[in-house]
Chain A
Amino acid sequence: MLAQLLAQVAAVVGVLLAISIGVFVGQSRLSTTRVEWRSRVRDAAPIAVVLVLVLLFNRTARETLPSLSWSIGWNLTSTFYEIEGQTVLLFQEYATPELTAYFSYVYVYGYVFVLIFPVVAYFALSDTRPLRELLTAYTLNYTLGLLCYVLVIAYGPRNWIPDLVETTMLYNQYPQYQELTGEVNHNTNVFPSLHTSLSATVAMFAYRTRDVYPKWVPVATLLAASVAVSTMYLAIHWAIDVTAGLCLGAISVVLSRRLVGRWSLSEEFDDWWPSLRRE
């Protein structure tokens, strides 16, 4: 079941990538990439390794972190509810089956695509700085997000007011997706919304690289906004989580800009792995 679902996601995202590489990246950039890919990989490798390590840690910590959270974290679901009340129900008013389908697909496929495409697109640039900054920002999102997850225990709207969000709740409409997201996340981890923060990160990068990829800006913005709204529409996150997600995204973008290039990790990396230098 899960394997089937993963294959489906891979297929859909693969098609989207192929189309958008054609539309946004273009033939000439792909040709230079074919020539320069080794040096670009070498530049981006250190931060990519760090990102992969963080993701692996995230995955293994999924089992143990919830118990740690229950010991030291703040249980804030009722506080969130007191602060924002039924704000997320605003979106329920406009609910239609088509909209539910749209947001569900955006939440699953759109999100995966919006995260992967910029990696490909920036890899296709001779200047590796956007790529390195993007990967750094992803790493920051995950690290800071994980820290928040340990410190804050909160359940999303679907767990608190299931009756009020019944018609649009993602897992009612598409129960199979719960298995997929259950692989990635735990139900007490809603603050902040990493869906929002990572998509917002991508949108901010799209704006910064607007000279290179002008057509990508509106698409990234629309997708990022849709992802953020989808998390509330589908009753997965509170408005507070989404707001915190936007802040986390912004912090990660700003920090990544400052951090990248400060220490030349790639030079140290070369000392460890001189073999990569050979071309």
Chain B
Amino acid sequence: MDRESTLENGGVSRRTLLAGAATGLTVATSGCVRQVRSVVNRDTVDHLSVSIATVPADGDRESVQIANLLADNLETVGIDASVNLLAEEEFLRAILVNHDFDLYVGRHPGGTDPDFLYETLHSVYADEPGWQNPFGFTSMTFDDLLERQRVLEGDRRRDVIERIADSVAAEQPFVPVCVPDENRLVREDRFDDWDDHLATRLGYLGLEPLDGDGELRGIITDVRPTQNLNPLSVEYRNRGTIVNFVYDSLGTVAGDEVRPWLASSWEWNGSAATVTIRDDVQWHDGEPLTAADVRFTYRLLEDTSLGDSDVPAPSPRYRGQSSIVDSNAIEVHDERTLTIPMTGSQNVRERAFTVPILPKHVWTERTGGATVPGLPVEQATTTAVVAENVPPIGSGPFQFVDRTGRESILLERFDEHFSRADDELPEATVERFRVAVHPGSPSAIEAIESGSADVTISTLEAYSVDEVTESESVRLLESSSQMFYHVGFNVRNAPFSNPYFRRVVARLLDKERIVDELFGGHASPVATPLAGEWVPDDLEWDGDDPSVPFFGADGQLDESAARTAFEEAGFRYDDDGKLLARY
């Protein structure tokens, strides 16, 4: 109001000016007003203050320690940082569903094929809930590369993936910190043949019982599977090991390859697969499993409302896999065969066979919007995504019997499962599979060593691995790991939208020391989210991060180097040494 009248006065002054009176003074005044306006109309720039979301030490002791280290280093370089502890499901809901975070420290499920970066970073997923692009990262160049690696094969794909890896390392939409060793403890006096990966269903099939007891006793250190068994729930699943006992997928991961499982075979015709489902497959409730269930599953993953909602409601899990499939063009030929059109090269396409197949007769009823009387619910929230799904009706080798919240889950062998009739396939050799929740790895180790359990399904936490006493009957199993610890940025908001800023923050992390001290050496520091043969030569770990090396040495942060780097990235400090930022 005041400003307008001043301007009006200015206008009057100009007329007066034209009249030729009191010239010098008015000109000076109007210039002054303009200057005042341009001074006061600048927003004040605030001290940057950030919150780092992570989970409490129960169940994942390292994340909160990485978060504390990062917070300390951020404080040192003049950024107010606080750590925000959230229960695992609350944490995942905050970062993956509501995108309500600045930074977070957590575990990423990773992936065997580099195509997992497609859902992790493609712009199209920036607004979707789930592990697909929780960072909100958008880049046209990137999208183009991600799409190209899907369709290319051999060396040409490798080249593109190398470029993707280099760009990820340069842009740091998230900071991969380290890959923890996957250690589990098994007892070998009751069961033998622990040779498949224990994060997959095959790990628990084909075991050789030694003393005739029909019960396998597993331990998890996570209460969530006792509360919710929905394969589509992103808040309650890490890798879905438990739900994968109950559900089958067309193919199952065995080492680096996808092997036929629920499908007896698939044939490629161009990029479309004609899939044949095994004979006489049943759901746990006795209904027959048909090709229609398979088509239904892919359509449900694409849109859990099956087109009923105004906005599509894609599944927060298996999004990358379902994006390979053109679900609306799936053709069902008969009860057992169907043709699934897909995009991408064969390695990528076979990922699509790893999704759990869901029974149409159970999940059709879950396509409606979830409601809570009296509370507003986000539009694209269907019952399918939020249902607890207890009891789960699957077709897998084990069927659900009972659960006790926060304590245990009891499964029993599904005698009608196709693996029982096929000698080629590993089958469930135990009648019952009891999964008990333990509060932490030390108590899990004690249970295995004292003989009251056979296997730790959850991996042992790094700090507890050295406590293990191996014996004739107790063996520590190390398996390959694809999961990695990382620091995620919410790049939707300044200053994290600035890659130069993210790079400097990444350089506050001493990954080598984190691995040595927090993980006791039971992890490997990494510079890229890709694993194994896919790591480009220039991103191999060589004592420090080749792209974002730590500021300083031996865990000692070089404060002035970090501050200079922020200044070089265009940020300023105030007199108190606090970093200023518009956000």
Contacts and interface: CB of A to CB of B under 8 A. Distances in A.
B and A form one assembly: yes
Interface of A: 1, 63, 66, 70, 75, 77-78, 82, 155, 158-163, 166, 171-172, 175-176, 178-179, 182, 187-188
Nearest to B444: A175
B64 interface: yes
A49 B518 CA distance: 49
Contacts of B447: 1
Which of B84, B87, B438, B446 has the most chain A CB atoms closer than 10 A to its own CB?
B87
Interface residues of B, number: 27
Given A1-B447, A159-B58, A75 B439 contact: no
A85 to B, nearest CB: 13
Interface of B: 56-58, 61, 64-65, 68, 82-87, 90, 405-406, 438-440, 442-443, 445-447, 452, 463, 518
Contact of A171 (B64, B87, B440): B440
Contacts of A188: 87
Contacts of B87: 66, 70, 188
Nearest to B52: A78
A161 B66 CA distance: 11
B225 to A, nearest CB: 15
Which of A66, A175, A178, A182 has the most chain B CB atoms closer than 10 A to its own CB?
A175
What's the dominant secondary structure at chain A's contact region?
A: helix
B255 to A, nearest CB: 34
A161 B68 contact: yes
Nearest to A158: B57
B563 to A, nearest CB: 24
B439 A182 contact: yes
Contacts of A159: 56-58, 64, 85
B44 to A, nearest CB: 24
A179 B90 CA distance: 23
Contact of A178 (B65, B83, B439): B439
A158 B59 CA distance: 12
A176 B438 CA distance: 9
Contact of B82 (A66, A78, A182): A78
Nearest to A157: B57
Contacts of B90: 70
A160 B85 contact: yes
Contacts of B84: 75, 77-78
A66 B224 CA distance: 13
Nearest to B450: A1
B372 to A, nearest CB: 11
Contact of B442 (A1, A163, A171, A187): A171
Nearest to B436: A1
Given A75-B85, A163-B65, A178-B443, A155 B405 contact: no
